[in-house]
């Protein structure tokens, strides 16, 4: 997402293509995009860059926003998961990704105006037609996941999850474990905050969506620094970075959790992959949980309008 959209101006296409190739060379096989990123330009970038690796990588994309509005910002025109809209969206994604089948197709946000059974039914038809392999959902509540899963088995659920966003632990993760569904945490590094590279003096460009998020105001950044201090102290002990500890913590939660950290920088790509070599013992995990439970995270993760689009 950050290569084309949301985190400041779009990045250089050639550089991002090189970075995607480097990721594959380093063993990354799972890539995540969506039609709304750009809109459309991120799917084009991913499709072009990963064309030489067909069959060696898995590409996930998403439908569910209405992109007919003038400014095309996610949420600006609202959500749309009508079956005919899903089918249209998939045709566009297939072209942009230069594939004949989408490996994993997520509903990006639950549409309160369309029964989830109808959404799952439309994806089921696309699977039967060979246009999609697997069905996913994003930011859906446990009961919605169950209803969809009864119509078309859900392969993966993607929601925000990290040391500072732990909502899925209450109901979603137990449901996924019971149903045998994988979990894909997005923003596993807290939209950059958990790298330890930000303090209350950090300023965001107007093209950076963090400038609109309550959790990234100077007051919230200052209050939430306690979480960075915690990660930093463990990182020192493990000869790692705070970002690597944040990712290793997620990887240690369940074997069926696959976080998707995003980056636009080669050194960060290598740092993120380095999280795989960080081993957190049961005692480390208890220490982290116990310390984290005493830290109150300040600031909502989204403005109210976007938060209403989550967890239906």
What is the dihedral angle through the alpha carbons of 170, 176, 178, 182, rounded to the nearest 10 degrees?
-140
Instruction: Check: CB of residue 297 under 8 Å from CB of residue 164.
Output: yes
Q: Cα–Cα–Cα angle for 305, 308, 312, nearest 5°?
A: 160
Q: Which of 37, 161, 186, 302 is catalytic?
A: 37
Give Cβ neighbours of residue 14 (< 8 Å, ≥ 6 apart).
Answer: none
Residue 63 φ/ψ, nearest 5 degrees? -120, 170
What Cα–Cα distance (Å) separates residue 310 from each residue in 110, 111, 193?
A: 7, 10, 21
- Is 7 considered catalytic here? no
> Is residue 120 classed exposed, middle or buried when 0-12, 13-18 and 19+ CB atoms within 10 A define those classes?
buried
Question: How far apart (Å, rounded) are the C-alpha atoms in residues 70 and 205?
Answer: 22
Cβ neighbours for 77, distance < 8 A, ≥ 6 positions apart = 65, 66, 67, 68, 69
230 and 295 Cβ atoms separated by less than 8 Å: yes
Spatial CA neighbour of 183 closest among 119, 139, 235, 242: 139
- Give the span between the Cα atoms of 153 and 124, in whole angstroms: 9
Residues annotated as part of the active site: 37
């Amino acid at each position: 997402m950050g290569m084309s959209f949301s985190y400041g101006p779009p990045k250089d296409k050639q550089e991002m293509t090189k970075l995607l190739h480097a990721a594959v060379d380093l063993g990354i096989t799972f890539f995540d995009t969506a039609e709304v990123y750009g809109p459309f330009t991120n799917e084009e970038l991913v499709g072009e860059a990963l064309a030489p690796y067909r069959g060696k990588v898995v590409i996930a994309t998403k439908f569910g926003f209405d992109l007919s509005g003038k400014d095309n910002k996610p949420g600006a025109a609202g959500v749309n998961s009508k079956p005919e809209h899903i089918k249209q969206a998939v045709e566009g994604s297939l072209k942009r990704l230069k594939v004949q089948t989408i490996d994993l197709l997520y509903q990006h946000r639950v549409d309160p105006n369309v029964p989830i059974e109808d959404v799952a039914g439309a994806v089921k038809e696309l699977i039967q037609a060979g246009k999609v392999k697997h069905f996913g959902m994003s930011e859906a509540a446990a009961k919605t996941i169950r209803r969809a899963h009864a119509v078309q088995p859900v392969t993966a659920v993607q929601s925000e999850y990290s040391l500072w966003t732990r909502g899925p632990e209450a109901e979603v993760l137990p449901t996924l474990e019971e149903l045998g569904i994988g979990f894909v945490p997005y923003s596993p590094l807290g939209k950059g905050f958990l790298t330890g590279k930000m303090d209350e003096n950090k300023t965001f460009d107007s093209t950076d969506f963090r400038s609109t998020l309550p959790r990234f105001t100077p007051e919230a950044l200052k209050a939430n620094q306690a979480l960075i201090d915690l990660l930093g102290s463990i990182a020192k002990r493990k000869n790692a970075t705070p970002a690597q500890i944040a990712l290793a913590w997620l990887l240690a939660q369940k074997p069926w959790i696959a976080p998707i950290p995003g980056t636009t920088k080669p050194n960060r790509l290598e740092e993120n992959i380095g999280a795989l070599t960080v081993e957190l013992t049961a005692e480390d995990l208890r220490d982290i949980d116990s310390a984290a439970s005493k830290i109150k995270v300040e600031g909502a993760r989204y403005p109210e309008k976007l938060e209403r689009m989550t967890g239906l």
